[in-house]
């Protein structure tokens, strides 16, 4: 009996020692990430329902005088959209709405296109509603929708990731529930999940917030005027993932329905992977005004990795992959600095100077900056310009991207975006030319195919 006890004791000591080694490796990675300037924020790594590693790294603001603490709230960008999507499913489970109801049911004053849009189109961004600038207020969005003549495509046939779909979900939630959006999610999501420190539209400059800053350590003005954004500390972020994945807020079936996405696009939950009907992984990254957050859960290993930063470096997902490799006892590397963040504002200020700087980095600093997905960084920079109506400069970036070696799906996306820029410039001939190039490169590019069909009717 004593021998058996000693065997078990040795086994558990070995397991504990092994887990401690993993924690030390994770901490070493995160300390290097802090020194490299690719992560300033809060992190939790959990496995089997227990927190293995939790740390606050860096500064609460750009002054470098106030260290981060775990109680500080962060904006989580698009991860906040999980709450409005979940709220829609709660109302569905209560029998108060159907996802097949049309938008005109709730907004009869909208033009006739509202009769084509179903609520399910809002939660997976396939409504056909066009992009409106992030600076638009709720009132601006409503007025723009009243004046909107046509959709970008037939609902369900394409994908545009934008805030208009989110705005409309929030308004439907209010109309159906008779409560404000904030009051509804407080009652039905935040309180049941035990998220006592989470707030909706908590001011980003208030006490209790981590203050976002750029690489010059200047405070970043918050650029989102639409309401309904959730701000929370890392502990509540973990409570949310646990409640969601344990199906304590919505059912397994509702989760799967909410997770359904247009091919190549995101749902309200970000992205998910299922095998034989079982959820294997869930990932969601969001960013806004130099805030960034990431959620990743891998269910076969019961692992959850959460990160929140107030100095966006676009490295939360690469760091997630590094940590997952450590936990799975695989080789790992520590990410380099973001090429996209290094060049985007320089190109925005002056395209010629910024592109010259990019070429300089390409020639001499690939050991410092991450060129592993160069085509993606150029496309992201082009989109950054496109959102600011800098169409000619955006086309330059997209053209540079499609000259690189890349997967057909990425090259096709570059061609599609060139076509979109020409469409926005009013050049139908060149728009069609590049949409066709996108489909030639990737026949599964439905957005480009739908635009060709729409423009040649």
- Final residue of a structural domain among 293, 327, 361: 327
Q: How many Å apart are CA 38 and CA 31, to the nearest integer?
A: 10
In a shared domain, residues 240 and 105 = yes
- Final residue of a structural domain among 304, 327, 350: 327
345 lies in a domain?
Answer: yes
Model pLDDT for residues 266-297, shown as the tens digit of each residue: 999 999 999 999 999 999 999 999 999 999 99
pTM to 2 decimal places: 0.83
Q: How far, in whole angstroms, is CA 109 from its chain's centroid?
A: 32
- Six token digits for residue 421: 């820029």
Q: Is the pLDDT of residue 302 over 60?
A: yes
pLDDT reported for residue 5: 52
Placement of tokens 């909107």 in the chain: 148
190 lies in a domain?
Answer: yes
In a shared domain, residues 293 and 341 = no
Q: Is the pLDDT of residue 134 over 80?
A: no
In a shared domain, residues 410 and 268 = no
Model pLDDT for residues 332-374, shown as the tens digit of each residue: 999 999 999 999 999 999 999 999 999 999 999 998 899 999 9
Provide CB contacts within 8 A for 300, sequence distance 6+.
Answer: 280
Burial class (CB in 10 A: 0-12, 13-18, 19+), 178: exposed
Q: Is the pLDDT of residue 10 over 60?
A: no
225 lies in a domain?
Answer: yes
How many percent of the chain have pLDDT more than 90? 91
339-348 as b/e, with b when 16 or more CB fall inside 10 Å? bbbbbbebbe
pLDDT reported for residue 15: 44
In a shared domain, residues 279 and 231 = yes
pLDDT reported for residue 14: 43
In a shared domain, residues 116 and 188 = yes
In a shared domain, residues 432 and 314 = no
Counting the structural domains of the chain, the total is 2
282 lies in a domain?
Answer: yes
Q: Is the pLDDT of residue 449 over 80?
A: yes
Kindly report the average pLDDT of the chain as a whole number: 95
pLDDT reported for residue 12: 44
- Six token digits for residue 195: 């998220």
In a shared domain, residues 306 and 377 = no
Of residues 245 and 15, more confidence is placed in 245
* DSSP code, position 224: -
In a shared domain, residues 203 and 84 = yes
Domain that holds residue 285: 77-327
Contact 212, 222 (CB under 8 A): yes
56 lies in a domain?
Answer: no
71 lies in a domain?
Answer: no
418 lies in a domain?
Answer: yes
Q: How many Å apart are CA 350 and CA 353, to the nearest integer?
A: 5
Q: Is the pLDDT of residue 176 over 70?
A: yes
In a shared domain, residues 225 and 313 = yes
Q: How many Å apart are CA 181 and CA 53, to the nearest integer?
A: 34
The angle that helices 391-402 and 408-425 make with each other, rounded to 10 degrees, is 160
CATH number at residue 377: 1.25.40.10
Q: Is the pLDDT of residue 3 over 70?
A: no
pLDDT reported for residue 36: 92
- Final residue of a structural domain among 265, 297, 327: 327
CATH number at residue 149: 3.40.710.10
449 lies in a domain?
Answer: yes
Contact 387, 420 (CB under 8 A): no
In a shared domain, residues 118 and 241 = yes
In a shared domain, residues 210 and 354 = no
CA angle 129, 135, 140 (to 5 degrees): 60
In a shared domain, residues 319 and 392 = no
How many percent of the chain have pLDDT more than 70? 95
């Amino acid at each position: 009996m004593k021998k058996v006890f000693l065997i078990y004791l040795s086994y558990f000591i070995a397991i504990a020692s092994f887990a401690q080694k993993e924690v030390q490796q994770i901490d070493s990675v995160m300390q290097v990430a802090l020194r490299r300037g690719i992560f300033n924020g809060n992190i939790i790594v959990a496995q089997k329902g227990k927190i293995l590693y939790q740390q606050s790294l860096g500064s609460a603001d750009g002054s470098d005088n106030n260290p981060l603490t775990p109680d500080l709230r962060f904006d989580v960008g698009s991860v906040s959209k999980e709450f409005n999507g979940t709220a829609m499913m709660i109302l569905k489970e209560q029998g108060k709405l159907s996802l097949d109801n049309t938008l005109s049911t709730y907004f009869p004053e909208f033009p006739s296109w509202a009769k084509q849009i179903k609520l399910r189109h809002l939660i997976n961004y396939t409504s056909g509603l066009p992009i409106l600038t992030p600076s638009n207020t709720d009132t601006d969005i409503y007025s723009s929708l009243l004046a909107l003549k046509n959709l970008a495509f037939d609902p369900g046939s394409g994908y545009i990731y934008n805030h208009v779909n989110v705005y409309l979900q929030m308004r439907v939630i209010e109309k159906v529930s008779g409560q404000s959006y904030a009051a509804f999610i407080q009652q039905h999501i935040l309180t049941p999940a035990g998220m006592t420190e989470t707030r909706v539209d908590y001011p980003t400059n208030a006490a209790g917030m981590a203050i976002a800053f750029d690489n010059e350590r200047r405070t970043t003005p918050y650029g989102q005027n639409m309401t309904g954004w959730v701000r929370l500390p890392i502990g509540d972020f973990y409570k949310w993932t646990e409640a969601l994945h344990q199906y304590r807020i919505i059912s397994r079936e509702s989760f799967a329905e909410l997770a359904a996405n247009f091919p190549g696009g995101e749902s309200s939950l970000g992205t998910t992977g299922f095998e034989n009907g079982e959820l294997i992984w869930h990932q969601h990254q969001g960013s806004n005004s130099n805030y960034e957050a990431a959620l990743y859960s891998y269910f076969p290993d019961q692992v959850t990795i959460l990160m929140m930063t107030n100095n966006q470096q676009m490295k939360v997902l690469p760091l997630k992959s590094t940590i997952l490799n450590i936990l799975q006892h695989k080789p790992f590397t520590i990410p380099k600095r973001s090429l996209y963040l290094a060049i985007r504002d320089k190109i925005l200020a002056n395209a010629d100077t910024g592109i010259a700087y990019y070429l300089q980095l390409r020639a001499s600093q690939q050991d410092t900056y991450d060129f592993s997905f160069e085509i993606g960084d150029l496309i992201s920079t082009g989109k950054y310009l496109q959102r600011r109506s800098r169409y000619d400069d955006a086309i330059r970036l997209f053209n540079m991207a499609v000259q690189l070696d890349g997967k057909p799906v990425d090259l096709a996306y570059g061609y599609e975006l060139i076509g979109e820029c020409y469409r926005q410039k009013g050049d139908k001939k060149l728009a069609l030319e590049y949409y066709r190039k996108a489909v030639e490169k990737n026949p599964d590019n439905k957005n480009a195919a739908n635009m060709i069909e729409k423009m040649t009717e």
